[in-house]
Structure 1
Amino acid sequence: MFTDPICALATARGVSATATVRCSGERILERLLPLLERLEKPKPRKIYLTPFKVKGEFLDEILFVYFQAPASYTGEEMAELSFHGNPIIIDRAMEALLEAGFREALPGEFTRRAVLNGKIDLPKAEAINAMITSRSETALDVARRSYLEGISTEISTFREEIVRLLATIEVELNYPDEVETDYTDLGEKLDGLSESISAFIESASKGLRIAQGIKTVIVGETNVGKSTLLNALLRRDRAIVSDIPGTTRDTIEEDLNIKGVLFRVVDTAGIRASHDAIEEMGIQRSLKAIEEADLLILLSDPAGDPGYLQKIDLEGRRVIRAANKSDIRQIDGAGYDVVISARTGRGLTSLEELMVERTLDLTSIGEQIIVSARQRVCLQECLRYLLQSIEAIEERVTVDIVSTLVERAAKSLDELLGRNLTEDLLDRIFSDFCVGK
Structure 2
Amino acid sequence: MLADTIAAVATPPGEGGIGIVRLSGSDAVAIASKIFKTRQGPHFSASRSHTLRLGVIIDPETGETIDEVLACIMRAPHSYTAEDVVEINCHGGALAVARVLQLALRHGARLAEPGEFTRRAFLNGRLDLAQAEAVLDVIRARSSQGLSAAISQLEGKLSQKITVINDSLTGVLAAIEASLDFTEEVGEVSASELEKLKHAREEVLKLLATWEEGRLLNEGLKIAIVGRPNVGKSSLLNALLRQERAIVSQIPGTTRDTIEETLLLGGFACRLIDTAGLRETADTLESIGVARTRQAVKEADLVLMVVDLSTGILAEDKRILEEVTGKNVIIVGNKVDLIGEKENGLKTFAASYPWVTISAREGKGLDELARKIREVVLSGKVARTGEEPILTRARHRDALEKCLEHLNAAIAAWENGIPGDLIAVDLWAARDFLGEITGATAREDLLDRIFSDFCIGK
TM over 0.5: yes
Displacement of 1:254:
2.2
Displacement of 1:113:
0.6
Displacement of 1:371:
3.8
| 1:31 aligned residue | 31
Conserved 8 A contact 1:146-1:370:
no
Q: Of residues 311, 323, 344 in structure 2, which corresponds to 1:311?
A: 323
Task: Note the 1:260-409 alignment, pairs <5 A.
Answer: 260-272=267-279, 283=290, 285-301=292-308, 302-305=312-315, 306-314=318-326, 318-330=328-340, 331-332=342-343, 334-335=347-348, 336=350, 337-361=355-379, 362-366=382-386, 367-389=388-410, 402-409=423-430
Q: Of residues 201, 214, 217 in structure 1, which corresponds to 2:224?
A: 217
Conserved 8 A contact 2:168-2:197:
no
> Mean alpha-carbon deviation: is it higher for 203-212 or for 386-395?
386-395
Conserved 8 A contact 1:207-1:365:
no
Once the two structures are superposed, residues 315-349 of structure 1 have per-residue CA deviations (whole angstroms, 9 ceiling, x without a partner) of xx643221123344454153452112333333222
| 2:84 aligned residue | 77
> Mean alpha-carbon deviation: is it higher for 267-276 or for 101-110?
267-276
SS in 2 for 1:120: coil
Query: Equivalents in 1 of 2:114, 2:68: separation in Å?
Result: 28
Cα–Cα, structure 1 residues 107 and 353, in superposed 2: closer, same or farther, change >3 Å? same
Query: Equivalents in 1 of 2:436, 2:443: separation in Å?
Result: 9
Query: Equivalents in 1 of 2:177, 2:423: separation in Å?
Result: 10
Conserved 8 A contact 2:37-2:56:
yes
> Mean alpha-carbon deviation: is it higher for 283-292 or for 198-207?
283-292
Displacement of 1:274:
5.9
Displacement of 1:289:
4.0
Residue 411 of structure 1 aligns with an amino acid whose one-letter code is D
Displacement of 1:409:
1.9
| 1:18 aligned residue | 18
SS in 1 for 2:46: coil
Once the two structures are superposed, residues 340-388 of structure 1 have per-residue CA deviations (whole angstroms, 9 ceiling, x without a partner) of 2333333222212222233235433342133433223322332233345
Residue 347 of structure 2 aligns with an amino acid whose one-letter code is A
SS in 2 for 1:111: helix
Query: Equivalents in 1 of 2:292, 2:414: separation in Å?
Result: 41
Query: Equivalents in 1 of 2:410, 2:259: separation in Å?
Result: 42
Displacement of 1:140:
1.9
Query: Equivalents in 2 of 1:120, 1:364: separation in Å?
Result: 24
| 2:433 aligned residue | 412
CA RMSD of aligned residues (A): 3.3
Conserved 8 A contact 1:205-1:369:
no
SS in 2 for 1:33: helix
Query: Equivalents in 1 of 2:135, 2:97: separation in Å?
Result: 25
Q: Of residues 234, 239, 243 in structure 2, which corresponds to 1:232?
A: 239
Query: Equivalents in 2 of 1:393, 1:432: separation in Å?
Result: 42
Displacement of 1:77:
1.5
Task: Note the 1:142-153 alignment, pairs <5 A.
Answer: 142-148=149-155, 150-153=157-160
Conserved 8 A contact 1:229-1:342:
yes
Conserved 8 A contact 1:146-1:371:
no
Query: Equivalents in 2 of 1:296, 1:69: separation in Å?
Result: 52
Once the two structures are superposed, residues 222-259 of structure 1 have per-residue CA deviations (whole angstroms, 9 ceiling, x without a partner) of 44332332232222343444545555455443212135
SS in 1 for 2:17: strand
Query: Equivalents in 2 of 1:40, 1:189: separation in Å?
Result: 56
Conserved 8 A contact 1:138-1:262:
no
Q: TM-score, normalised by structure 1?
A: 0.86
| 2:57 aligned residue | 52
Residue 384 of structure 1 aligns with an amino acid whose one-letter code is E
| 2:124 aligned residue | 117
Residue 356 of structure 2 aligns with an amino acid whose one-letter code is V
Conserved 8 A contact 1:52-1:60:
yes
Displacement of 1:275:
6.8
Once the two structures are superposed, residues 383-437 of structure 1 have per-residue CA deviations (whole angstroms, 9 ceiling, x without a partner) of 2333455566678877666543332221111010111343212211111222222
Is 1:137 the counterpart of 2:144? The answer is yes
Structure 1 portions without partners, runs of 5+: none
Conserved 8 A contact 2:266-2:370:
no
Cα–Cα, structure 1 residues 291 and 116, in superposed 2: closer, same or farther, change >3 Å? same
> Mean alpha-carbon deviation: is it higher for 236-245 or for 379-388?
236-245
